Structure 1
Amino acid sequence: MSFATNMRRCVVAVLAAGAVLAASVPSASADVSQPDWCPVVEGRRVECGTLTVPLVRADPSQGSTRIAYALVRRTGTGRPAAGTVVPVPGGPGEPAIGQVDLFAQQTAALRADHDLLLIDPRGVGRSETIECGLPDDLYLLSRERYVAEIGKCGRALGARARGYTSAESADDIDAVRARLGVDRVDLYGVSYGTYLSTVYAHRHPDRVRRIVLSGAYPLASDPLGRSSARAVPDILGRLCARSGTCRGGEAVADLRTLAARLRKDPIRFTARFAGRSRTVAMDERMLALLHYYVAGSGGTPAAWSELPAAVGEAARGKPAALVAMTRQTVEMTGTLPPEARSSRAQSVAVLCNDYPVVWDRRSAVPARRASFQRALRRADGTFGPFSTRGWTAAVADSADACLRWPRETPRAPRYGAAPDLPVLVLSGDLDTNTTLDQGRRAAAQFPDATFVKVPNAGHVPTGEKSGCAARLAADFIRTGELRGTACLSRIPALPVRPVR
């Protein structure tokens, strides 16, 4: 469950992907009737527009908001479209229109006869970005201050916060679909987009033809992130077995040793953040963060090539490589482009309105805190190599993140059985963010779902470099079946640096 422009877009893409979202660039040859933000896709006509919808559909007095979309037409315009693919971006907080090049590339096999409909979620990108005063260094704050800042964000948004839910965003997608006269869509959800796609399928089942979920997690996910913590030893075992340059059991033991040491004696170093020097503590929380969000990110998760050796060396008293990784993460977090920083308000609003919590949302902060502490005690010892608090303090989008979120926001809706639609779920077997276990549970929500484990891939496996997973996804959208999976066995193993 990735939430971009918060920890996942601020930190996750840093080492593994190293790329900035593609910008929508207007062209001098663009149709003058188009808005100036309308993207240009070589060889394809793009039609852009906006649609005004209620901010809270159940309460029209809250006013309205504007939803932006870009419809990228198929190249074979002489025939009717075989389908309309709707990429549902991650985050929450990522735009779709700003990633047009990425989504066009991943659906290139469909470009001749499928249209591509990109919709910026409300509060993000061209769909009226919102702000709530979150500080630039939010993800470097202590856990207590982090929780406090999210609470302040909720109070700053006030009644408007009720409008930023997955249910409202799903209804926005359907409103654009109806405006354009599209009968049914093919949903292509990535990361948080797998959650939103599932919500859309529940709310508008008759308007969905097929669904692809890449880097998926179920609606009823664990607020404490235990699946991700338990996945770390398994992934270290796979990395070492495939590379031959390390031993899985030894790598796990090194991680356990280092986590215990950093719990008591953090390593302090300086890093440049937003042009200023600041002291950073490499503690167990930071170590967990590297393994939760950074290591497995990107379809081809390059950070796994370095992290086991860096941990092993630090466990032996040589922390230079691990400090360098952490410093790079911190410094790149401080240089995020404005569009990445500006969507954090929508991110925290969605996660605090929608994601499962271990307390009654109607209760006051002291009662919430007591419920959270009881949940931690019950969960003790179930976080793999990490301590209970060391891991949960790194969980950016759940655990106690929303402890101080206002009580006046809407209750998260409960959904029954999912509709009987063709669904393909792809999970990378090196992903600690949305794990194999979470992917299987996401698939189990649907009566007609196919689950595929993508070897040597991380979060959002349709982004892995060989292109195999993206081809499988495109073929499924075209045919409704999974065929030609032999390419999975040819995805190369990651090289893993040995401990020096």
Structure 2
Amino acid sequence: MNSKQITRHASVAAACAVLFSLAVPLTASAGAAEPLTWSACRGEGLDPRQRCATVEVPMDYSDPDGRTVEITVSRIPSEKPSARRGALLLIPGGPGGDSLSDPSGKGQKLPQKVRDAYDLIGFAPRGMAPSTAVDCKLDPADLSRTKLLPWPAPDGSVAGNMATARRMAEACGRNGGELIRHISTANEARDLDRVRAALGEPRISAWGVSYGTYVGAVYSQLFPHRTDRIVLDSNNDPDPTRVTRGWLAAFERGVEDNFPEFAAWASRPGNPYRLAPTADGVRSGFLRLAARLDREPLPWPGANPERLDGTVLRQTMLTSLYDPDDYPVLARTILAARKNTVPPVPQSPPESVLQNVAAVGVGTICNDVDWPDSAAAYQGDVDESRARFPLTAGMPRGPMACAALPYEPREPAVRITDRGPSNVLLVQNERDVATPLSGALRLRRALGDRAVMVTVNSTGHDAYLANGNACGDRAVSRFLATGERPGSDLYCG
């Protein structure tokens, strides 16, 4: 699997998401651990230096002597032992992503000084294969991106979304077992501290991306004394009252931040995918085409669903805005639909992967925060969103499976605060469809003096070594290699 495929799998995972008092102190750090036994990793195209091991963790941290689950981790050791500082956790996006292949993949894009300083550590979070895995056995039709995200009916009704939510909730309740009730961001952070202890590291550094920024922030909140250098890249709003509900809602702002870049590209003279003479014409043409496909869908054999309707076009738009390199995917879809034809069926991960990603997504988003359980609670918000943000047609405020689950979160979401060491660097693109700048600024405010933020004048999701710019990359690389951060928040124009 190449890095672009991994990124796309992470966006599928984003689509899945896109969230008491206990006798045992849940933030207690893990003590001494058994040494890890490293062996060959499963998978193709991996660096021969990468090795894998498993770490046993409690399923329920309020019952530390009870049932356990396994977390699979991977490692490529420091390339210069004399310069080694410690270990760098590569925290994946999602919920429903993993970073097991990242030491062999994006980890090798890190500058030499960073690869010399750290062992690169990937992992599959609880619930994700090959760690102890969860599966809801959803109806295959419910694995389409247009079902995993709550796109309303063409008239804006959420009745169909509520029916999908009930189907998914029933399947997860029936097939997800006890594990699905213990999949949460806080538990992933606790698992990572067990990984840290198993690695024999008194403190650990991290590079968290997308949903991984929230995991990294929660880890830094629960275990501040165990953190070294923390990079949070493409940042989520940490509002503990909304969590993933807020991230879903952020798509309406993220699309408005990004669509003008696509429209400028798609109206440029000489572009073989040119859609209109002006950017305004690209936008109005997209809205007209989506409305026409709502009324008159085109058959699309082999796709899921097997039609190209307005909702599929909008989802294609959303997915394509993650990376400017994917703009041609949306343009080709638009050009084909104008001629009443369809493009080739897009590639999709295997159904087993989609099932696993969906189940972990349901577990995380529903266990992180409580969701309303009545259609009326969503319909008004969807109607307002449709009026204000027509490109996303109300989807960002719709109901997901959590609206129908029969149980509530076991504990409140972790509140991110300014208490802890000043060792966090945020890096954020200005135009990011999935984690907009507005949400990143809220995380920056929550962290206070603990953090410095690098804002990058760039478009796309994932900033560092991906869709950012050289100025932002230099700032992050310098911090990881030397610990030196900008003296104050930095703008990379």
TM-score calculated relative to the size of structure 2: 0.76
1:346-365 correspondence runs (5 A): 346-355=360-369, 357=371, 359=372, 365=373
1:295 to 315, 320, 327: 320
Report the Cα distance in structure 2 between the residues aligned to 1:374 and 1:11, rounded to whole angstroms. Answer: 22
CA contact (8 A) 2:138 2:171 kept: yes
CA contact (8 A) 1:3 1:92 kept: no
Name the CA shift for 1:433/1:186 in 2 (closer, same or farther; >3 Å).
same
Task: Report the CA distance between 1:122 and its aligned residue.
Answer: 1.0
Task: Report the CA distance between 1:6 and its aligned residue.
Answer: 8.3
1:475 aligns with 2:478: yes
- 2:359 aligns with 345
1:171 aligns with 2:190: yes
1:242-261 correspondence runs (5 A): 244-245=268-269, 247-261=278-292
CA contact (8 A) 2:430 2:458 kept: yes
Task: Report the CA distance between 1:408 and its aligned residue.
Answer: 4.8
1:205-255 deviation per Cα after TM superposition (whole angstroms, max 9, x unaligned): 111122212222122257274432234344232345577445322222223
- 2:223 aligns with 204
- 1:444 aligns with 445
Task: Report the CA distance between 1:204 and its aligned residue.
Answer: 0.7
Task: Report the CA distance between 1:80 and its aligned residue.
Answer: 5.7
1:385 aligns with 2:391: yes
- 1:236 aligns with 259
Report the Cα distance in structure 2 between the residues aligned to 1:240 and 1:340, rounded to whole angstroms. Answer: 31
1:183 aligns with 2:202: yes
1:173-215 deviation per Cα after TM superposition (whole angstroms, max 9, x unaligned): 0011122221222110112111111111111111112221222
Which 5+ residue runs of structure 1 have no aligned equivalent?
13-32, 360-364, 490-500
- 1:162 aligns with 181
- 1:462 aligns with 464
Name the CA shift for 1:9/1:226 in 2 (closer, same or farther; >3 Å).
closer
Task: Report the CA distance between 1:87 and its aligned residue.
Answer: 0.7
- 2:306 aligns with 279
SS of the residue corresponding to residue 257 of structure 1 reads: helix
Report the Cα distance in structure 1 between the residues aligned to 2:441 and 2:414, rounded to whole angstroms. Answer: 20
- 1:22 aligns with none
1:275-424 correspondence runs (5 A): 279-283=306-310, 285-292=311-318, 294-297=319-322, 300-307=323-330, 311=334, 317-320=338-341, 323-324=342-343, 328-329=345-346, 332-333=347-348, 335-336=349-350, 338-339=352-353, 341-355=355-369, 357=371, 359=372, 365=373, 368-377=374-383, 379=385, 381-388=387-394, 391-392=395-396, 399-418=399-418, 419-424=420-425
Which amino acid is the alignment partner of residue 295 of structure 1?
S
CA contact (8 A) 1:420 1:447 kept: no
SS of the residue corresponding to residue 433 of structure 1 reads: coil
- 1:89 aligns with 92
- 1:270 aligns with 300
Report the Cα distance in structure 2 between the residues aligned to 1:309 and 1:35, rounded to whole angstroms. Answer: 44
Name the CA shift for 1:309/1:482 in 2 (closer, same or farther; >3 Å).
farther
- 1:127 aligns with 131
Task: Report the CA distance between 1:306 and its aligned residue.
Answer: 5.0
Task: Report the CA distance between 1:382 and its aligned residue.
Answer: 2.6
1:57 to 37, 55, 61: 61
CA contact (8 A) 1:231 1:435 kept: yes
Which 5+ residue runs of structure 2 have no aligned equivalent?
1-5, 17-36, 148-159, 270-276
- 1:150 aligns with 168
CA contact (8 A) 1:51 1:66 kept: yes
CA contact (8 A) 1:166 1:199 kept: yes
TM-score calculated relative to the size of structure 1: 0.75
2:117 to 113, 116, 129: 113
CA contact (8 A) 2:91 2:212 kept: yes
Name the CA shift for 1:52/1:207 in 2 (closer, same or farther; >3 Å).
same
SS of the residue corresponding to residue 328 of structure 1 reads: coil
CA contact (8 A) 1:185 1:207 kept: yes
Which amino acid is the alignment partner of residue 172 of structure 2?
G
Name the CA shift for 1:455/1:188 in 2 (closer, same or farther; >3 Å).
same
User: How large is the Cα RMSD of the aligned pairs?
Assistant: 3.7
1:400-457 deviation per Cα after TM superposition (whole angstroms, max 9, x unaligned): 3421123154244241524453333233344312222222223332114333343444
Task: Report the CA distance between 1:374 and its aligned residue.
Answer: 4.0
Greater displacement, 471-480 / 63-72: 471-480
Name the CA shift for 1:73/1:127 in 2 (closer, same or farther; >3 Å).
same
- 1:362 aligns with none
Which amino acid is the alignment partner of residue 150 of structure 1?
M
Report the Cα distance in structure 2 between the residues aligned to 1:112 and 1:61, rounded to whole angstroms. Answer: 38
Report the Cα distance in structure 1 between the residues aligned to 2:66 and 2:135, rounded to whole angstroms. Answer: 17
Name the CA shift for 1:430/1:195 in 2 (closer, same or farther; >3 Å).
same
Between Structure 1 and Structure 2, how many residues are aligned?
Answer: 435
SS of the residue corresponding to residue 199 of structure 1 reads: helix
Which amino acid is the alignment partner of residue 462 of structure 2?
V
- 1:435 aligns with 436
Report the Cα distance in structure 1 between the residues aligned to 2:467 and 2:283, rounded to whole angstroms. Answer: 27
Task: Report the CA distance between 1:288 and its aligned residue.
Answer: 2.5
Report the Cα distance in structure 2 between the residues aligned to 1:237 and 1:384, rounded to whole angstroms. Answer: 14
The alignment-based identity, stated in percent, is 21
CA contact (8 A) 1:301 1:430 kept: no
Name the CA shift for 1:270/1:52 in 2 (closer, same or farther; >3 Å).
same
Report the Cα distance in structure 2 between the residues aligned to 1:373 and 1:337, rounded to whole angstroms. Answer: 31
